[in-house]
Chain A
Amino acid sequence: MPTDGLTNNIRRLRFDAGEMTQQALADKASVTRQTIIAIEQGKYAPSLPLAFRIAKAFGVNVEDVFQLDE
């Protein structure tokens, strides 16, 4: 799925969360590690439910994780 200007702070948020591993985040968001890698690198735009699950895993709002470059 093309990202269409969707950027994210997942790498920084993982760092802030005590170097949370990609696998740990994947487990919390109920996806595979490869999916987290693809999202983090901006190669895949997650669905809305997944974006919320990722934000919930960090305990922040969705817009703190994902931004739209206009």
Chain B
Amino acid sequence: MRLLWNAVMCAAFAFSFGICLFLFNRASRTEIKNRLQKKAWKDLAIGLFGGPISIYFMVKTDVRGIGFVILAVLIGIWIAVGQLIQKKRILRGMDEREKFLYERAKMVSDSIFGGLFFSCLFGLFFWIGGKGQVDVSVILYMFFAIAIVAHIAQSLIILIQLKMEQSDAD
């Protein structure tokens, strides 16, 4: 059973790695000159490939005790500081319309994240409701999983907006 599980995971990684290569190749194509479009394709690749892998290893390593606290603190720092620094870096070199499209996609993805996270969190507690216990690490895994979904959604929203504009222009 364990062997089968590992085989399934390996196949899933190989598949997502293939998708990642395809998306990176697409992002680096010379005809795509739009910085925002390139970023969206790369983010999509990272979300589809990097996200599941990090979740898998988090679950696999089964972080406990002080390791869990350190991980939670790192996530907190990432949310507080990382987002601000990253945002400045991302927006550099974009024109005002690209910034506007990015901000709009970010707003939607933040809403998706907030909505999903709180729904899942309260849903989880409601479902457990005195029937048993759940490990605190589940919340962390849930946070990561939903953050990845929101990240992928953001990339897709940017790409859809750009595609719609492109088709309008044609």
Q: Main SS of chain B's interface residues? A: helix
| Contact (Cβ within 8 A) A35 B168 | no
Q: How far is the CB of A57 from chain B (nearest CB, A)?
A: 14
Task: For B100, list chain A residues within 8 Å (CB).
Answer: 1, 44
Count of chain B residues with a beta carbon within 8 Å of a chain A beta carbon: 12
Count of chain A residues with a beta carbon within 8 Å of a chain B beta carbon: 14
| Contact (Cβ within 8 A) B97 A34 | yes
Q: How far is the CB of B150 from chain A (nearest CB, A)?
A: 23
The answer to whether the Cβ of B110 comes within 8 Å of any Cβ in the partner chain is no
Question: 11 A-B Cβ contacts within 8 A?
Answer: A1-B97, A31-B95, A31-B97, A34-B97, A34-B165, A34-B166, A34-B169, A35-B98, A41-B168, A43-B165, A43-B168
Chain B residues within CB distance 8 Å of chain A: 33-34, 95-98, 100, 162, 165-166, 168-169
Chain A residues within CB distance 8 Å of chain B: 1, 30-32, 34-35, 37-38, 41, 43-44, 46-47, 50
Q: Which A-B residue pairs are the 5 nearest by beta carbons?
A: A31-B95, A35-B97, A37-B169, A35-B95, A32-B95
